[in-house]
Amino acid sequence: MYGATLTVLQKIIVDGSTYSQCGDADSAYNTLTSFEFVLILHLMKDMMGITDILCQALQKQSQDIVNAVQLVHSTKTLIQSMRDDRWEELLKNVKSFCEQHDILILDLTASYVARQGRSRHQKDHITVEHYFRVEIFLVTIDKQLQKLNSRFNDQAMDLLNLSSTLMPKDAYKNFDIAKISTLVDSYYPEDFTEQEKINLPFQFQHFILDVRQHPKMKNLSTIHELCRCLAETKKSKVYYLIDRLIRLILTLPVSTATTERSFSAMKIIKTRLRNKMEDDFLADSLVIYIEKEIAEKFSSDSIIEDFKLLKTRRLLCQLMEDGGLALMLLFQLIHSRYQLSDGYC
């Protein structure tokens, strides 16, 4: 891809239709064939290779908390190891790449001079290698570590570790009432009354004995499977404190990507033509788009029948109160069936 890009730029430099186009292509070519660009390119490749597994895992709709915690630890360890030990390896790979593509390799022991007007403000006399290692390599890695430590600080990691005690795999062997009580007291004190905190250990004892014998619940492996099974078997009403705690855990960003999916859907739904829609109608539209698997189960006839059941005088008020949810659902079904363009919106 790199060689093909350079070939295209060289073609534009020679055969460009305008001087501006030729100049832009020449500038881009000079940048892409610089030692600094190649070093940054290889640094990004290595950094993204380390963080990709964690990013992909966190984007899943439902994530195993135990594995998420392990991935956070391993990602931090690998990035720190890269910072401490892999500068020479990176430099070797960059030089090899430059030799393959006939790119000038800078003298790393020479004094570094800032390009263009920045050289006037340069006070320290540093080598080229020092600049690349400290100002680019170390700064980039430190920002990544700072971001990870900020998002997954000690408190967040403690919360995730305590939440992992609710994992039902291996016959609920991770379930620990002491840790679950600590989880409630430390992170969800306002979601449970004092009496409920007292009742939680006793409800927990009944819960463990029950689910380990239940044919549908004894072989579960993830928290979201446990939550769904509790609802399907109606045991969520019996063990309502356990069910409430599980639902609170499922709202953690690491265990669900609903928030991220919502922002992504907003970019698709709120186009230029729909830019003036009100918040309620936008929210209803997003619900239909995000939960399209559920929306597809509704037929046009069933929606029409629902409209028929509404009283005529209350129809407009009902649509306003509901934010046009039924109308949006009907439009979504018609849109998918007849392939209408966005201009109809």
Do 276 and 297 share a domain, yes or no?
A: yes
In a domain, 21, yes or no: no
**pLDDT for 341:** 44
In a domain, 188, yes or no: yes
In a domain, 51, yes or no: yes
Of 103, 128, 152, the domain-final residue: 152
**pLDDT for 330:** 54
Rounded mean pLDDT of the chain? 76
In a domain, 6, yes or no: no
Do 278 and 199 share a domain, yes or no?
A: no
**pLDDT for 138:** 92
Give the mean model confidence (pLDDT) for residues 120-140. 80
**pLDDT for 23:** 83
**pLDDT for 342:** 46
**pLDDT for 345:** 45
Q: How confident is the model at residue 7 (pLDDT cuts 50, 70, 90)?
A: confident
Do 245 and 263 share a domain, yes or no?
A: no
Do 185 and 241 share a domain, yes or no?
A: yes
**pLDDT for 43:** 92
Domain hosting 102: range is 33-152
In a domain, 79, yes or no: yes
Of 126, 152, 178, the domain-final residue: 152
Do 118 and 179 share a domain, yes or no?
A: no
Distance CA 283, CA 277 (A): 10
Do 146 and 39 share a domain, yes or no?
A: yes
Do 212 and 281 share a domain, yes or no?
A: no
Give the mean model confidence (pLDDT) for residues 96-103. 88
Residue 176 has pLDDT above 50, yes or no: yes
In a domain, 275, yes or no: yes
Do 113 and 49 share a domain, yes or no?
A: yes
Do 324 and 305 share a domain, yes or no?
A: yes
In a domain, 28, yes or no: no
Closest CA to 342 of 269, 258, 292: 269
Among 65-69, 116-120, 125-129, 143-147, name the one with the lowest average pLDDT. Answer: 116-120
Assigned token pair, 289: 């788009």
Q: Is the pTM of this model over 0.95?
A: no
Of 152, 176, 199, the domain-final residue: 152
User: Which tens digit of pLDDT belongs to each residue from 247-283?
Assistant: 887 776 544 444 455 556 666 666 666 666 677 777 7
- Higher local confidence (pLDDT), 121 or 49: 49
Residue 122 has pLDDT above 70, yes or no: no
Do 190 and 239 share a domain, yes or no?
A: yes
Do 112 and 176 share a domain, yes or no?
A: no
Domain count, the chain: 3
Share of the chain above pLDDT 90, in %: 8
Q: How confident is the model at residue 228 (pLDDT cuts 50, 70, 90)?
A: confident
**pLDDT for 8:** 82
Do 142 and 238 share a domain, yes or no?
A: no
